[in-house]
């Protein structure tokens, strides 16, 4: 596993150099980058169930992931979040499964998820308990617990930062302790003999995960827990957006699971959540009840054009190129040479947001094809991009330089300013 990971790192550094991408960290990675060459996609139990999810719930969600078309759209993980362990270990020091929730243990649920062609993820905590104090943590048992997960054929482990006895690390900052213990858990994963993607639940910005986690895990949190409100979704977007340089194939900033279709998010705000996460190359881990979602929610989560931006093999996180009066413009380079752009209206008033092909980083061309990734309208522009964007909404567009018509001469001097407005979709 390590050898494969290192081989992939060298390949990715080369690819980044060739593509002129952001500088990647030079330290040797111990994490297997090959496990997440594009941002992981799946479903996690926490946002819909808290710590109450049972075997029946997990199996129903896995079946719904298939029946809804989400599996076909690229979602592959079904992740059991916190709440499945008892507070005490057994006489052999093994984690005990809560048998009220999982009467036959975890392994049969994993088998069922695998039988649907999906992968299974599980939750662990680095410290003595989970964050609620209600279940055992893995402190002192990293190798033993990871061997247990490998025996159950787990594919993904989310490791939380809870109840770590900080006094054992005199003189170290919280961030230094976090780095040390997450690395220790990572070494246990390397030794487990089964590839398992490694998700670091560094759920506190004080842990500055972006400064050290890219050689430790496949993804790491950049802020506290998301909630199903516009304000909290927005806060996690902002905390994540500035960290774009560190993300790349195998290692992703994680602004936390999606709240699409949950709580107080309107359909417009759900589309914004999905678009911003896709643009930021964030893991797309749905957090709603898939067995009861509306067709609007299903259509948002299965928008293949938006998913393609997220899963683009170049693996660059979109970055903010303008932010004025609550109007944001983000751009994400794609492997094809196109750019995915998001025009985000973070105000309570409808807005006209404009930018240009040059501002979003495109090379000079006579015209650019413009695909609206939500309305699916296809137009073109000489360079200017204008969109009407409703409050809390986005316009998400793919801009591709169009080849010159055969025989047409390229302008030799400065290009004429474009005379058209590109497009003005009435975004919802
Ligand atoms: C939190 C974590 C959440 C969820 C929860 C489960 O610490 O940030 O994402 O995993 O624990 O108890």
- pLDDT tens digits, 105-139: 999 999 999 999 999 999 999 999 999 999 999 99
The H or E element spanning position 370 is: strand 368-372
What pLDDT does 29 receive? Answer: 58
What pLDDT does 404 receive? Answer: 81
SS3 at position 113: helix
pLDDT over threshold 90, residue 161: yes
Q: How close are the terminal C-alpha atoms of the chain, in Å?
A: 46
Measured by CA distance, the residue closest to atom 1 of ligand 1 is: 131
Q: Residue 13's pLDDT band (boundaries 50, 70, 90)?
A: very low
Provide Rg for the chain, Cα atoms.
22
pLDDT over threshold 90, residue 416: no
Residue 189, ligand 1, Cβ within 6 A: no
What pLDDT does 408 receive? Answer: 54
Instruction: Please report, to the nearest 10 degrees, the dihedral formed by the alpha carbons of residues 409, 410, 416, 419 taken in order.
Output: 70
CB-facing half-sphere around the CA of 74: CA atoms within 13 A: 22
| Interior angle at CA 283, CA 272 and CA 229, nearest 5 | 40
**Ligand 1 centroid to residue 160 C-alpha, Å:** 7
Please tell me which residue in 32, 81, 160, 254 is annotated as part of the active site.
160
Residue 130, ligand 1, Cβ within 6 A: yes
pTM over 0.75: yes
What pLDDT does 31 receive? Answer: 86
Residue 257, ligand 1, Cβ within 6 A: no
Q: Residue 361's pLDDT band (boundaries 50, 70, 90)?
A: very high
Per-residue burial over 247-262, b = 16 or more CB atoms within 10 Å of its CB, e = otherwise: bbbbbbbbbbbbbbbb
pLDDT over threshold 70, residue 360: yes
Tens digits of residue pLDDT in 193-213: 999 999 999 999 999 999 999
What pLDDT does 94 receive? Answer: 97
Residue 203, ligand 1, Cβ within 6 A: yes
Between CA 37 and CA 122 the distance in angstroms is 20
| Mean of pLDDT values over 389-402 | 98
Per-residue burial over 329-364, b = 16 or more CB atoms within 10 Å of its CB, e = otherwise: bbbbbbeeebbbbbbbbbeeeebebbbbbebbebee
Do the Cβ atoms of 186 and 217 come closer than 8 Å? yes
**Ligand 1 centroid to residue 374 C-alpha, Å:** 32
């Amino acid at each position: 596993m390590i050898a494969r990971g290192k081989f992939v790192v060298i390949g990715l550094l080369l690819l980044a150099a060739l593509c002129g991408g952001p500088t990647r960290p030079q330290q040797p990675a111990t994490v297997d980058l090959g496990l997440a060459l594009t941002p992981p996609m799946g479903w996690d139990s926490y946002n819909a169930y808290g710590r109450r999810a049972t075997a029946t719930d997990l199996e129903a969600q896995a079946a719904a992931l298939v029946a809804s078309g989400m599996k076909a759209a690229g979602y592959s993980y079904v992740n059991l979040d916190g709440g499945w362990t008892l507070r005490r270990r057994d006489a052999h020091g093994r984690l005990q499964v809560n048998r009220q929730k999982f009467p036959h243990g975890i392994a049969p649920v994993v088998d069922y998820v695998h039988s649907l062609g999906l992968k299974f993820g599980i939750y662990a905590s680095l410290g003595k308990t989970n964050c609620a104090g209600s279940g055992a943590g893995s402190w002192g048992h990293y190798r033993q617990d990871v061997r247990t997960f490998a025996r159950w054929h787990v594919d993904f482990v989310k490791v939380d930062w809870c109840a770590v006895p900080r006094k054992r690390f005199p003189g170290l900052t919280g961030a230094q302790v976090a780095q040390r213990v997450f690395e220790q858990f990572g070494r246990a994963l390397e030794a487990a003999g089964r590839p398992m993607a490694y998700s670091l639940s560094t759920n506190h910005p004080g842990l500055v995960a972006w400064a050290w986690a890219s050689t430790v895990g496949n993804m790491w949190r950049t802020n506290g827990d998301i909630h199903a409100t516009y304000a909290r979704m927005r806060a996690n977007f902002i905390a994540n957006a500035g960290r774009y340089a560190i993300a790349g194939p195998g290692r992703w900033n994680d602004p936390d699971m999606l709240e699409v279709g949950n709580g107080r998010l309107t359909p417009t705000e759900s589309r914004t959540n999905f678009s911003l996460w896709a643009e930021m190359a964030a893991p797309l881990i749905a957090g709603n009840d898939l067995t009861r979602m509306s067709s609007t929610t299903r259509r948002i989560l299965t928008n293949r054009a938006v998913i393609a931006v997220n899963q683009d093999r170049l693996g660059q996180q979109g970055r903010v190129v303008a932010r004025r009066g609550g109007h944001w413009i983000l751009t994400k380079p794609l492997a094809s040479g196109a750019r995915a752009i998001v025009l985000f209206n973070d105000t309570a008033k409808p807005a006209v947001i404009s930018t240009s092909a040059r501002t979003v980083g495109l090379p000079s061309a006579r015209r650019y094809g413009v695909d609206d990734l939500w309305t699916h309208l296809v137009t073109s522009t000489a360079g200017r991009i204008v969109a009407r964007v409703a409050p809390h909404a986005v316009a998400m567009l793919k801009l591709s330089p169009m080849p010159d018509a055969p025989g047409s001469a390229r302008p030799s001097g400065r290009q004429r300013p474009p005379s058209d407005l590109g497009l003005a979709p009435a975004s919802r």
